[in-house]
Amino acid sequence: MVKITKSRKGGPARSSGPTADKPQHLLRVWEAVAQRVRQADRIVLFTDFDGTLTPIRRMPGAVCLSAAVRELLAKMARNGITVGVVSGRRVRDVRARVGLSGIWYIGVHGYEIYYPDNRTELFAHADHRRQIQLATRQLIQLRKVPGLSLDDKEATVAVHYRRASSQNRHLAWTTIQSVLAKYPNLHLLSGKKVWELLPDSRTSKWTAIQFVLRSERSRYRGHSLVFYLGDDTTDERVFEKMRGITVAVGKHQRTAARFFLYSPAEVRRFLQKLGDFATAKSLGRSATGGNGEGRLSRMKVTLDSARMK
Ligand SMILES: [Mg+2]
């Protein structure tokens, strides 16, 4: 279990707790969800990457997306679903692993946004980046410690400890605490086997998603049904705030999500079902002449094989 923290001591900072109602298994109640999909004018799908689209690996650099899931995402985007991949990784990293152009990417927990038309935006002021640089210098000694790795993401800096001994984990933790004591404006984010220092607590996956939704709504009218899938505490903030279909992956307790799936393998089954609906909706519009919206709203998506690892 992981926590977003506002306090330097790691105390929970969630604005509200998990939902009183237990989440439902998404595939078991699919018919009810499908009804909402049918009624929507537009579908928006945001999904986390590690632990959601792909299983967690011991080495973060070894994670790659299966060709089948890549094709499912591409097919949905081509058929009018707005697709966004959301990650703690840098955009250039997650883009390389997903291997698609023409969709949204949100990186570094919301600090980076990559538009479908290839523009990039970094939501960190120069003084924030400067603070992270100073913190990184203090953490640099951890690079040589077995089992630890340092990830400088410009807007944030992360220490991964999945392969570290308990002694070396303790060393990482005490070093981070000394950095936080020196730079009290920084905020600590604890994820799955990773501690990350952020320049502030205002930017998050949720603020980035709101940004994308505002951009989408300025272009498309009608009722949008928004999906969000994720597996970590950074995703919990989105689950708490977002209306729509929120899906926790790999857990069905202590989550604010309304639905859950057991694994990335089940996520793939869900994507297949949603993709089939998108295809049917898209073809339906074409067959009936529709209002042209289906054709207008399609994203130009390409497989970007040169970027894939
Ligand atoms: Mg994740």
Domain boundaries, the chain: 30-123+203-288, 126-198
Strand-strand pairing, 120-122 and 149-152 = unpaired
Amino acid code (one letter) for 299: M
Q: Is 48 a catalytic residue?
A: yes
Residues paired with 303 in a beta bridge? 100
Asked if the model's pLDDT at residue 292 lies above 80, the reply is no
Residue 282 pLDDT level (bands cut at 50, 70, 90): low
Q: Residue 219: CB partners within 8 Å, gap ≥ 6? A: none
What are the distances in angstroms from CA 191 to CA 83, 156, 181?
Answer: 24, 14, 20
Q: How far is the CA of 234 from the centre of ligand 1 (A)?
A: 8
Q: How far is the CA of 52 from the centre of ligand 1 (A)?
A: 6
Q: How far is the CA of 282 from the centre of ligand 1 (A)?
A: 30
Residues paired with 195 in a beta bridge? 159, 190
Task: Confirm if 263 and 245 have CB atoms less than 8 A apart.
Answer: no
Query: Looking at the domain that runs over 30-123+203-288, which CATH code has it been given?
Result: 3.40.50.1000
Asked if the model's pLDDT at residue 51 lies above 70, the reply is yes
Burial class (CB in 10 A: 0-12, 13-18, 19+), 25: middle
The pLDDT tens digits of the residues spanning 217-262 come to 888 778 899 999 999 988 999 999 999 999 999 988 899 999 999 9
Residue 11 pLDDT level (bands cut at 50, 70, 90): very low
User: In the β-sheet with 112-114, what is the strand arrangement from edge to edge?
Assistant: 24-25, 259-261, 245-249, 224-230, 42-48, 82-86, 104-107, 112-114, 120-122
Asked if the model's pLDDT at residue 80 lies above 60, the reply is yes
Q: Residue 129: CB partners within 8 Å, gap ≥ 6? A: 154, 155, 199
Helix axis angle, 264-288 relative to 67-78, nearest 10°? 30
**Of the listed 21, 41, 48, 232, which one is catalytic?**
48
Q: How far is the CA of 285 from the centre of ligand 1 (A)?
A: 35
Q: How far is the CA of 132 from the centre of ligand 1 (A)?
A: 23
Residues paired with 196 in a beta bridge? 158, 189
Angstrom distance (rounded) from CA 67 to CA 99: 9
pTM for the structure as a whole: 0.84
Task: For domain 126-198, give the fold.
Answer: Alpha-Beta Plaits (3.30.70)
The residues placing their C-beta within 5 Å of ligand 1, an ion, are 48, 50-51, 231-232
**How many CB atoms sit inside 10 A of residue 34's CB?**
14
Q: What is the number of H-type helices and E-type strands within the chain? A: 9, 15
Both structure tokens of 225:
């049904």
Asked if the model's pLDDT at residue 309 lies above 70, the reply is no
Q: Identify the three-state secondary structure at position 67.
A: helix
Burial class (CB in 10 A: 0-12, 13-18, 19+), 143: exposed
**How many CB atoms sit inside 10 A of residue 135's CB?**
21
Both structure tokens of 26:
């998404």
Q: How far is the CA of 53 from the centre of ligand 1 (A)?
A: 8
